[in-house]
Amino acid sequence: MDKIIIFDTTLRDGEQAPGAALNQKEKLDIAFLLERLGVDVIEAGFPVSSPGDFEAVRGVAREIKKCAVCGLSRAIPKDIDAASQALKKARHPRIHVFLATSKIHMQYKLKKAEDEILRLAVKAIGYARNLCDDIEFSPEDASRTEKEFLYRVVEAVIKAGAKTVNIPDTVGYAEPKEFGELIKSLKDNVPNIQKAVISVHCHNDLGLAVANSLSAVQNGARQVECTINGIGERAGNASMEEIVMGLKVRRSSFGVKTFIHTKEIYKTSRMVSKLTGFVVAPNKAIVGLNAFRHESGIHQDGVLKKRSTYEIIKAEDVGFKVEGMVLGKHSGRHAFKERLKKLGFTLTGIEVDEAFEKFKLLADKKKEIFNDDITAIVQEDIEGKIPEVWSLDTFMISSGNRIQPTAKICLVSKRKIFEGVASGDGPVDACYKAIEKITRLKCQLLDYSLQSVTRGEDAQGKVALRLKAKGREFSGSASSTDIIEASIKAFLQAINKIEFKK
C-alpha cells in the first residue's frame, strides 16, 4: 500500500490567513505538535519575507528532528539563499521554490513570456540544488496553466534536480474530476515524471479543496499539502484532518495510507485555533464540536443500539472527548434514560415518565439541556425531603493579604456540635476543608459560581456549586448577604445529599 506524504503548511500558508499571525514561540509550539502528530514535512515559513519569519523557520529547523522542515522561496537567488540559511540546522531540510506559469499570472503579474519562465524555473532549481539536496518546485496557478506548457515546465525542473513537483490549485478554481485528470495527464505526458513525487496544494475557494486533493491521490499524487483546520489565504486550504481521515475511513477506495497519529488530531486542532484566534465551526468535519454529537431522537436511538448506524468515525480515534448525546427538544426517551443511568439515578418507570415530561418542557425553553439541568429535574421533588444531617452553627474566618486564610467551623448533627479548623487558598477553601474534616467526606469541587440576586450594598449573593464524591456528582446552592455563609450552606446542602444517598 502506497504511503501519502503529508506536507503541513499551517505555519506558512495557514499563517497567511488575515489575522492569523504567529510569533516565533507559537510557531515552535505548533511545530512540536505537528511532529508528534506524525506529519512528514513541516513548511515552517517564507524566510525572506521578514526577519521574524526567518528566525521562526530557523527555530523550527533547529528543534524539529523527525520531520523534514521546509522553507518557501521565489525563483530568485536572494530568496533561495535566505531559505538555505534558515534551514542550515535542519536534520532534513527542503527548499520549496515557486514560480507562476498560468497565462494570467505571466501576463499581468510577472510580465514574462513562456520561454523566460521556463528558463527562470530551471535556473532557480539548479541554484537551489547546489545548496540543498531536497528541492520542491511549484508551478503557481498550475490548474489554470496551459497543459502543454505545464508538461514542459515539470519535465525541465525534474531534469534540473527537483525531487517533488507540486501542482497547486492556487485560486481554488478546479473541480475534482478535472483536477484528477490533470494529475493523470502529467503521469502520461511527462517522460521523467517517475523521478519525482507528484504533490498537490489545493485552495478552498469553491469548497472543493479536500475533494480535489483526494481526486489527485486517486490519480497518482503521493504528497498532499494541507493545513490544520483548513486555515489559509481567502477561504483556506485543504483540511489536513479531513484528508487523513478520508484516506483512513475509505482506505479500500484509495488504497493508500498515512503515518499520522490520528489521536493527536483534536489536540493539535484546538491549539492552532487558540493561537490563531480562528474558532473552529461547530459543524466542521472531524474536529467541530458537533462532529460526534447527536440530538435527534432517531439518531440517538440508533447510536445507542449500534454506534456505526450514524457514526463512521469513532470520536476517540481523533482524540475527541465529548458527550455524544446532546439532550434537547429533539431527543427521545431512550437517550434520556441512558443519561439518567450515567448520572447514577435509578428511577421507576413512572418516575422516568414524570421526569421526561419535565425535561421536554424545559427543552422547549433551552437550546441544550446539561447534566445539571437533569439532576435538578430529578431531585426537584426530593429536595425538601433530604434530611439535614449537618447544619451550620457558627463560623469564624481569619484572612488577610499577609496571612494564610483559616476557618473555624461548628456544625450541628444529631443535636451535637462538631468543630473543625483548617487553612486553605482562600476563606471559602478553608471553610470547605474544615467541613471535610468534620464530616470525614473527601470531595472534589468541580464548579463554583457566585452571583448577585438582589441590588444594593446589602445584596444577597447566590452560590451554586457542584462537587464529586464517591464517584458521583452532587450540587448545592444557597443565598445570603454574606457570601462566605452562602458558600458554606451550599456546600452543606451537597454534603447532605451525599449522606442521603448513603
- Specify whether 357 is located in the same domain as 417: no
In this structure, the strands spanning 444-452 and 391-400 are unpaired
C-alpha grid cell, residue 260: 499520522
- Specify whether 38 is located in the same domain as 81: yes
pLDDT at 368 over 90: no
Predicted local confidence at residue 461, as pLDDT? 77
Sorting pLDDT into bands at 50, 70 and 90, what band is 457?
Answer: low
pLDDT at 34 over 60: yes
Last residue of a domain, one of 213, 245, 276: 276
Whether 360 is in a domain gets the answer: yes
pLDDT at 289 over 70: yes
**Helix axes 371-379 and 349-363, enclosed angle (nearest 10):** 130
- Specify whether 175 is located in the same domain as 319: no
What 3-state class would DSSP assign to 161? coil
C-alpha grid cell, residue 139: 508551478
Distances (CA, A) of 194 to 162, 213, 255: 12, 20, 19
84 phi, psi to nearest 5 deg = -60, -45
Distances (CA, A) of 419 to 15, 487, 499: 60, 18, 19
Distance, CA of 499 to CA of 438 (rounded, Å): 13
If one counts every other C-beta atom within 10 angstroms of the C-beta of residue 8, the result is: 30
Whether 256 is in a domain gets the answer: yes
Predicted local confidence at residue 381, as pLDDT? 47
Distance, CA of 439 to CA of 493 (rounded, Å): 13
Q: What is the DSSP string of 185-246?
A: HHHHH-TTGGGSEEEEEEB-TTS-HHHHHHHHHHTT--EEEEBGGG--STT-B-BHHHHHHH
CATH code for position 429: 3.30.160.270
User: pLDDT tens-digit profile of 78-87?
Assistant: 999 999 999 9
Stretch 100-127: mean pLDDT, rounded? 96
Whether 292 is in a domain gets the answer: no
What 3-state class would DSSP assign to 453? coil
- Specify whether 366 is located in the same domain as 430: no
- Specify whether 371 is located in the same domain as 465: no
What 3-state class would DSSP assign to 397? strand
Which residue would you say has higher pLDDT here, 426 or 321? 426
Which residue would you say has higher pLDDT here, 338 or 194? 194
Whether 289 is in a domain gets the answer: no
User: pLDDT tens-digit profile of 217-272?
Assistant: 999 999 999 999 999 999 999 999 999 999 999 999 999 999 999 999 999 998 99
CA-based angle 302:303:305, to the nearest 5? 65
User: pLDDT tens-digit profile of 168-227?
Assistant: 999 999 999 999 999 999 999 999 999 999 999 999 999 999 999 999 999 999 999 999
Whether 288 is in a domain gets the answer: no
Stretch 43-49: mean pLDDT, rounded? 97
If 0-12 CB within 10 Å is exposed, 13-18 middle and 19+ buried, where does residue 374 land? Answer: buried
- Specify whether 266 is located in the same domain as 315: no
Last residue of a domain, one of 381, 398, 420: 381
**Helix (H) or strand (E) run with residue 448 in it:** strand 444-452
Strand ranges in 272-350 using DSSP code E only, listed in sequence order: none
Spell out the residues 6+ positions from residue 416 whose beta carbon is closer than 8 angstroms to its own.
none
- Specify whether 43 is located in the same domain as 164: yes
Judge whether 256 and 2 are in contact, CB under 8 Å: yes
Contacts of 424-429 spanning 24+ positions with Cβ under 8 A: 426/399, 427/397, 427/399, 427/484, 428/484, 428/487, 429/405
- Specify whether 126 is located in the same domain as 50: yes
Stretch 16-28: mean pLDDT, rounded? 89
Which structural domain range is residue 47 located in?
Answer: 2-276
What 3-state class would DSSP assign to 101? coil
Q: How far is CA 100 from the centre of its chain?
A: 33
Strand ranges in 372-434 using DSSP code E only, listed in sequence order: 391-400, 403-413, 416-423
Percent over 90 (pLDDT), the chain: 66
Q: How far is CA 102 from the centre of its chain?
A: 36
CATH code for position 71: 3.20.20.70
- Specify whether 44 is located in the same domain as 146: yes
Distance, CA of 96 to CA of 110 (rounded, Å): 19
User: pLDDT tens-digit profile of 459-473?
Assistant: 567 788 889 988 888
Whether 326 is in a domain gets the answer: yes
The residues pairing with 199 across neighbouring beta strands, listed in sequence order, are 166, 223
Judge whether 199 and 221 are in contact, CB under 8 Å: yes
- Specify whether 389 is located in the same domain as 372: no
Predicted local confidence at residue 385, as pLDDT? 53
- Specify whether 375 is located in the same domain as 355: yes
Q: Which amino acid is at 214?
A: L
Tell me the average pLDDT of the chain: 89
- Specify whether 269 is located in the same domain as 120: yes
Predicted local confidence at residue 362, as pLDDT? 74
SS3 breakdown of the chain: % helix, strand, coil, rounded to 5? 45, 25, 30
Please tell me the pTM assigned to this model: 0.69
Distance, CA of 94 to CA of 70 (rounded, Å): 5
Sorting pLDDT into bands at 50, 70 and 90, what band is 317?
Answer: confident
